[in-house]
Chain A
Amino acid sequence: MNALPIDLDLAWESLPALFDGLMVTVFLTVLPLIIGLALAFPICFARMSSRRALALPAETFVVFFRGAPLLILLYLVYYGLGQIEALRNGPFWIVFGSPFGCAIVALSLNHAAYMVEVLRGSLLAVPHGIVEASEALGITRRNIFLWVRMPLALRYGLKAYQNEVVSFVKGTAIVSVVTITDLMAVANSIFEQTYDPFTPILCAAAFYWAFVNLIRVGFTFWGGWLNRHNAEDVAMPGPGRLALARLAGRAKVMP
């Protein structure tokens, strides 16, 4: 008998199906990350506005969608919105009529709510004196945002952003409850077919782990490149490429 709780043959046979599931998980990660981030910017600007009429709705959005458990949010979008007849007959049914559409909406709203706060915290961390210096140079507000505030905010907020992305990836596992066959759902169905609880679940865990760590490594490189100005002994030929290699754990970096 096999001493391992894993059936290696089953694991090998399951790989293609699990890989397909992983692709669904990747898709359900990347798209909401993009949409959520795009939503977060205007909501964050509204939240930071001195005008109450803008700040209050934005704050309400954050409080609601950050407070609502993702699972309940998903149920509400998937089962709840379907009760509205006008929506069922309207053009948006293309989105809300499919589990994928609903999952992307729910995940995007959740991610946006978290990102508003990440973004706001990062922007508030930019030293006021640096913004003043830009103003004194006669740089327009728009350009100050693009070339000074945002690049610095990105550096201050990168760790928080990484945390949010990593926990978000794992959060996508709940989409299986609305019939989407993501990585978790594939593992679950293999379990139901074989009555082997360990092999598919541990394999799925390994896939999640690999995906999350790929993201982590990506962030490490990104952070190393962004923070090259703080690197020890910055070698200057080219924009800090050597420093980048050094920071990113002495890995070889191709130009």
Chain B
Amino acid sequence: MIARPPASDLAGDLAPAPVAPAILLAGVVKRYGAHRALAGVDLQVQRGEKVVICGPSGSGKSTLIRCINALERHDGGRIVVNGIELTGDEGTVQDIRQEVGMVFQHFNLFPHLTALENCMLAPQLNRGLSKAQAEKLAMAHLERVHLADQARKYPARLSGGQQQRVAIARALCMEPRILLFDEPTSALDPEMVKEVLGVIEELAASGVTMVCVTHEMGFARRVADRCVFMDRGEIVEEGGAQDFFDAPKSERLRHFLAQILR
């Protein structure tokens, strides 16, 4: 087991309204010109639930999770995150981003800051923590991703797997109730995939709400409470990992699984 950082309330156990889902998407539409990247998506994620989204390239899965924290603005439908309705208003966007952490395919660490400083920046700027407080928090989370010994290195000196774990620690430092992963292992060399997935699995055990876009089927089976298959901007099928992989109902999912499993 991993030690929980002292200041953390990651479990999302401070629910304002116990019945409200962590994430509610209703008829979400996103257009790029004439192309509909999301064609009316409905999805609910309960508190503490782990949801894996998969689907072919261009199916809208990245767009979907990027809409949740407003990196992409949706053109129609409703998005409610932890009871906050996402509107065009900048205030709601900032509120939601404080609740939602995100990990990207290409890590996107700040190259001019050390691993430790990468983790300290947002808590210092957003929450007004002192340098000492932020450092303590950052060290706790770096420890959690097993990188305390690399804290003072710059990203350029770290392996891809280490960089992605720093990125996870950086997201955790904002103590989000919801974590979004956008293909967190797709840019990694094969031998580094395991260390990153291992960290994510440990996090999953802590009770945080997770939405993860990934094609790592073994990971999905171990972690996901529910798997969602997207194609052409809509959710085609969803279900428990077992049924999802072993007894897919739709032809499109069967075809997709045949493609990726070969």
Contacts and interface: CB of A to CB of B under 8 A. Distances in A.
Given A147-B121, A147-B125, A151-B112, A136 B156 contact: no
B71 A229 contact: no
Given A138-B174, A139-B126, A140-B126, 17 more contacts: A129-B108, A130-B108, A130-B109, A130-B111, A132-B108, A133-B167, A134-B122, A136-B101, A137-B97, A137-B170, A138-B94, A139-B122, A139-B125, A147-B121, A152-B111, A226-B112, A230-B111
Contacts of A143: 125
Contact of A136 (B97, B110, B153, B157): B97
Which size class do B's interface residues fall under?
Answer: 20 to 34
Nearest to A243: B154
Contact of A138 (B97, B112, B154, B156): B97
A135 B72 CA distance: 11
Interface of B: 69, 71, 94, 97-98, 100-102, 104, 106, 108-114, 121-122, 125-126, 152-157, 167, 170-171, 174
Question: Which 8 A-B pairs have CB atoms at the shortest separation, nearest pair first?
Answer: A138-B97, A133-B108, A229-B154, A137-B122, A136-B102, A129-B108, A236-B152, A138-B98
Nearest to A230: B156
A202 B106 CA distance: 55
Interface of A: 127, 129-130, 132-140, 143, 147-148, 151-152, 155, 226, 228-230, 234, 236
A138 B102 CA distance: 10
User: For the complex, would chain A's binding face be called helix, strand, loop or mixed by DSSP majority?
Assistant: helix
Given A137-B97, A137-B170, A229-B112, A132 B155 contact: no
Contact of B69 (A129, A134, A136): A136
A136 B98 contact: no
17 contacts: A130-B109, A134-B110, A134-B122, A135-B97, A136-B71, A136-B97, A137-B126, A138-B98, A139-B122, A139-B125, A139-B126, A147-B125, A152-B112, A229-B155, A229-B156, A230-B154, A234-B157
